[in-house]
Structure 1
Amino acid sequence: MTRSLAILMFDDVEVLDACGPFEVFSVANRITTRDGGDPAFDVVLVGVDEEPVRARGGMRIAVDTTIADNRRFDVVLVPGGVVDDVPVAAVTWIESRSAAAEVTASVCTGVFLLAAAGVLDERPVTTHWEDIDELRRSFPNLDVREQVRFIDHGDVATSAGISAGLDLALHLVGRLVSADVATRTARQMQYEWTP
């Protein structure tokens, strides 16, 4: 079964936060189709508008659709970056899409957007080590954990910073597709990963 997967894109998104998981899901698709099956994921980059986003460091990335697209996604992934100026409409999009998603996940400071959207509850969350204190100050009701790569509660998952998004994405491949496909994806990427 091919799952629809949206990655929210915005100006000043952290490149590896968004493109690292994209690569994991893309390579997982190569593995499943090489095995004669369907792609595991239909990955869609969702922008605030139709313009390419300018990621941190200046990389320009085109989007496939916008937050005006009303389709349902099985997986919603919110990367981090500079999230202070992400429009309220994008936060509203996270809230509405997460209600119907099988899993809503964040990488790094993307957790701030999940919190602003009301997606998080009393269950533990994490983020980049540099942003732990700010997350606690901004959302004092959150149970913020340190020194973990990611936390998965089934319907909500959060990861620590930047490269930890690769670990979370591989974990999601293992959970949603199979442990074998996740292991082979990591091997294909030559990424040292311990499930």
Structure 2
Amino acid sequence: MSKRIGIYIYEGAEVLDFAGPFEVFSTAARLHSLGWEVLLIAQSREAVEARGGMRVVPHSTLVNCPRLDVLLVVGGVHRDEMQKPAVLEGIRRLASGSTQLASVCTGIFILASAALVERGPVTTHWEDIDDLRTQFPALQVVDTQRWVVSEEVVSSAGISAGIDMALELVSRWLGLPAAEHTARQMDYHWRH
């Protein structure tokens, strides 16, 4: 079972928003001998400085990224990304070829700005729930769950909730025992 998973990062991205799901997907692939490729994608190939000063070199750019099966957009200092036409167009292009769209934390703001999520239900970090409701009043925003599944997107609440959401995706793709095995390998307490 091959799968190419792309995680969009940017200046000020929250580290665990991308590192957590990256670890889940790469651990699941290793444990189950799957041909999964997990890529970090950014606007350019230059190192991205995530929150806390962590510098990360992306594997690919929005322009030269190959077709994805899954596109995941992370949160962090996201407001500038919402205003960049090239970023929104690149995300729309990658999303159009993928079969699964996901967001961690405030990444949902970027997907909504790209008009990829218009109804919901969706969720985000607890501090940003009211802002999401105000900026995108058509969205059905849920504030009581760590992750939410809709026809449009699988979204998660803040930061560490991205790990839970990624395990949910593994469960959907490979079954609950595989997701539980992945969580156990990571020594992560996950409740489905």
Sort the TM-score into its range (normalised by shorter chain).
Answer: over 0.9
Determine which of 140, 145, 148 is the counterpart of 1:143.
Answer: 140
Match in the other structure for 1:10: 10
Unaligned 5+ segments in structure 1 are none
Match in the other structure for 1:44: 39
SS of 2:80 mapped into structure 1: coil
Q: 2:188 aligned with 1:188, yes or no?
A: no
Q: Within 5 Å, give how 1:34-183 maps onto structure 2.
A: 38-39=34-35, 41-86=36-81, 87-183=84-180
Unaligned 5+ segments in structure 2 are none
Distance 1:105 1:73 in 2: 12
Poorly superposed stretches of 4+, deviation over 4 Å: none
Letter matched to residue 7 of structure 1: I
Distance 1:187 1:115 in 2: 34
Letter matched to residue 31 of structure 1: L
CA contact (8 A) 2:62 2:91 kept: no
| Distance change in 2, residues 1:138/1:155 (3 Å) | closer
Letter matched to residue 100 of structure 1: G
Q: 2:27 aligned with 1:27, yes or no?
A: yes
SS of 1:76 mapped into structure 2: strand
CA contact (8 A) 2:41 2:65 kept: no
Distance 1:123 1:147 in 2: 14
User: What is the CA-CA distance between 1:155 and the residue it aligns to?
Assistant: 4.6
Letter matched to residue 8 of structure 2: L
Count of aligned positions = 190
CA contact (8 A) 1:129 1:147 kept: no
Letter matched to residue 171 of structure 2: G
Q: When the two structures are superposed, what TM-score results if normalisation uses the length of structure 1?
A: 0.93
Larger deviation, residues 90-99 vs 75-84: 90-99
Distance 1:111 1:93 in 2: 15
SS of 1:85 mapped into structure 2: helix
CA contact (8 A) 1:103 1:154 kept: no
User: What is the CA-CA distance between 1:143 and the residue it aligns to?
Assistant: 1.0
Distance 1:168 1:88 in 2: 28
